[in-house]
């Protein structure tokens, strides 16, 4: 192929790549900037800007990923807050009920002692045996306090506060008659088997003449105790009548 140059005075321009233009622009800029410190400052600011942009983009991406977790945590916080409020409310009701039950127990502590005693003695009473009387046994005298030793220190003011009084067990005496000595021993065994009575002790047993007949007069000492809840049976105060 033959090419004819119609304009001999002009040289043919060669096609240049875009990268070559960018390289020339950079060389021109480097030739214009004579101070190397200024060039270093420009490069540093460009690096700092790029780093800040990278950090901003990464932080924005992480924040967007954490938004669902934040909403879920807020929902869990509200749910547990409501749960704790309900728990405190229930605990307040429980403490109030415990305080009321304590007051009732304090008031009714000794009210049903003798009904239980009479009921258990009646259940344990065998045939051909009857009671003469029942009463509270005299409490045992308290043991004398040991004299303080010479080396013992005097109690402090806080130690001198009297301890709260503890309810003492109720001891009682049962006086009765029987025409059968075996009924007397059976009565002792059945009293000992009662969950409400403990420390059953025969005090005396002797033969006496009553209505011209020989009978055995006995005296038994026992102590009332609070039975386990398994032995307590409750009944309604009223029944519906049809």
Provide the pLDDT for residue 20.
Answer: 60
Q: Residue 232 pLDDT more than 90?
A: no
Q: Residue 156 pLDDT more than 50?
A: no
Per-residue pLDDT band for 71 (boundaries 50, 70, 90) equals: confident
Provide the pLDDT for residue 159.
Answer: 41
Domain definitions of the chain by residue range: 18-109, 113-138+169-229
Distance CA 49, CA 43 (A): 10
169-184: pLDDT as tens digits: 789 999 999 998 899 9
Provide the pLDDT for residue 155.
Answer: 46
CATH number given to 113-138+169-229: 3.30.70.60
Any idea which of 6-10, 63-67, 70-74, 76-80 has the lowest mean pLDDT?
6-10
Distance CA 196, CA 124 (A): 12
For the record, the structure tokens of 160 come out as: 């001198």
Question: Is residue 225 within 8 Å of 231, Cβ to Cβ?
Answer: no
What is the number of other CB atoms lying within 10 angstroms of the CB of residue 116?
Answer: 19
Provide the pLDDT for residue 201.
Answer: 92
15-48: pLDDT as tens digits: 555 556 666 665 665 566 566 677 777 778 888 8
More confident residue, 10 or 90: 90
pTM greater than 0.85? no
Distance CA 192, CA 187 (A): 9
- Give the highest mean pLDDT range of 41-55, 143-157, 162-176: 41-55
Range list of β-strands (E), the chain: 129-136, 170-178, 197-210, 213-224
Provide the pLDDT for residue 163.
Answer: 42
Distance CA 127, CA 60 (A): 96
Distance CA 208, CA 177 (A): 9
């Amino acid at each position: 192929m033959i090419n004819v140059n119609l304009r001999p005075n002009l040289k043919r321009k060669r096609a240049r790549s875009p990268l070559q233009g960018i390289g020339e622009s950079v060389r021109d800029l480097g030739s214009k900037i004579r101070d190397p410190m200024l060039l270093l400052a420009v490069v540093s600011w460009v690096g700092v800007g790029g780093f800040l942009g990278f950090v901003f983009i990464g932080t924005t991406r992480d924040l967007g990923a954490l938004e669902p977790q934040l909403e879920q945590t807020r929902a869990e916080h509200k749910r547990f807050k409501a749960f704790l409020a309900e728990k405190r409310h229930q605990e307040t009701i429980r403490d109030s009920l415990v305080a009321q039950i304590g007051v009732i127990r304090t008031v009714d502590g000794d009210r049903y002692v003798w009904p239980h005693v009479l009921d258990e003695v009646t259940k344990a009473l065998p045939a051909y045996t009857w009671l003469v009387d029942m009463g509270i046994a005299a409490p045992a005298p308290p043991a004398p306090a040991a004299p303080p030793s010479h080396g013992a220190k005097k109690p402090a003011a806080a130690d001198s506060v009297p301890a709260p009084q503890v309810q003492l067990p109720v001891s009682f005496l049962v006086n009765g008659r029987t025409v059968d000595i075996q009924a007397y021993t059976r009565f002792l065994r059945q009293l000992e088997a009662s969950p409400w009575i403990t420390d059953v002790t025969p005090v005396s047993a002797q033969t006496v003449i009553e209505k011209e007949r020989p009978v055995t007069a006995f005296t038994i000492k026992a102590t009332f105790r609070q039975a386990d809840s398994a032995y307590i049976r409750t009944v309604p105060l009223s029944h519906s009548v049809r």
